[in-house]
Structure formats: C-alpha cells, structure tokens
Amino acid sequence: MSTTILSVEKLQEISAISNALANQTDLLMPFVEFAEVAHLKEDILGEALYDDIIADIEAGTLSGNNQTLCEKYLYNLSAWYSYFEASPFIAYRAEAKGVTKKFSDNSQALEKNEIADWRQAILDKCTFWYNATLKYLNNNSTLFPLWRTAFYGKTESNCTGDAGYDSANGIWV
C-alpha cells in the first residue's frame, strides 16, 4: 500500500464509516488511494504539492502550511471522497462464486431511492470540502508555491487561453 494523506482511523473519525468496516483496512485503503489520486492529486493539488505532502508524511515532518492544509481541508476532502468511492462496494463483494451481497441478521437493505439520497448526501459533503479547499488555496496561493496555479487562481483578465478557475467566475475553457 502506498502512503496516503488520510488514515483509516481519520476516515472513521470524519465520515460515517462504522467500527466494523473501519477494521477492514484491506477493503477501505484502495478507495482512499483512488480518491486521493483522482480527487486530490489530479483534480486539485497537482503532482508537486501532493507529492510534497506525502513526502512530509513519510518523513514524519508534516508541519507549517502543509499541516494546516491537511488538518483544515484535505483530511475532510479525502475522507468524504473515500467514503463516496467506497460506498457502492460496502455491501457487495466480488468473490469466486460471483458478486455477493453482505447482510447481518439485524440489518435491512435500503431502497433504491434511499441509496441515491445517501450517495447524494455524501457527494454534497465532497462538494463542500472541494470548494472550501479551492477557496483556501486561492486565498493563500503564496503559501503553496507547488500548487498548480496554472489551472486555478486565474481571472478572465489574465487568462492566456488555458482552462482555468477562479472563485468569482467559476471554470472556463
């Protein structure tokens, strides 16, 4: 397993992951890894800043601006995206006999519309933390020189034809 910003313990602390599920690290970590690469590294932070934070975590030297970014934004962002990515697979397992559905004696499966509402509630939290993280990075871009401002933090007046984002005008192409 590769190093991630978020631990399973932090995932459980932030999201609605149960104790029993949190103990299944081998089930959850692939979703944490995917969520961080897809939504944090590729979508928001960029490779340089993401790799810098991971290097700090591996060295046990996470501090300063990177620590603040993690504690105030990235733990929450990663937790909710990890939960969102894992949620379709929590009740189902691909096994040798095929795809199976797990039940306990005291549980009741949700209806299709309840599952859609549940997933939307998780996605709403993802969207909130995504927007909050972008706003923080835009407002503090000088603290994060490795952040890929080529994609974020532009205004229409300084757009050179690339795609971009600014908090006042949104995304443009």
Sequence ranges of the domains in the chain: 8-148
Mean pLDDT within 12-39: 79
Both tokens assigned to 169: 């005008």
Contacts 24+ apart (CB under 8 A), 138-141: 138/166, 138/167, 140/65
What average pLDDT does the structure give for the chain? 81
Per-residue model confidence (pLDDT) at position 155: 40
Per-residue model confidence (pLDDT) at position 102: 64
Confidence of residue 150 (pLDDT cuts 50, 70, 90): low
The residues with which 94 forms a beta bridge, in sequence order, are: 99
Per-residue model confidence (pLDDT) at position 156: 41
pLDDT digits (tens, 9 = 90+) for 55-94: 999 999 999 999 999 999 999 999 999 989 988 877 666 6
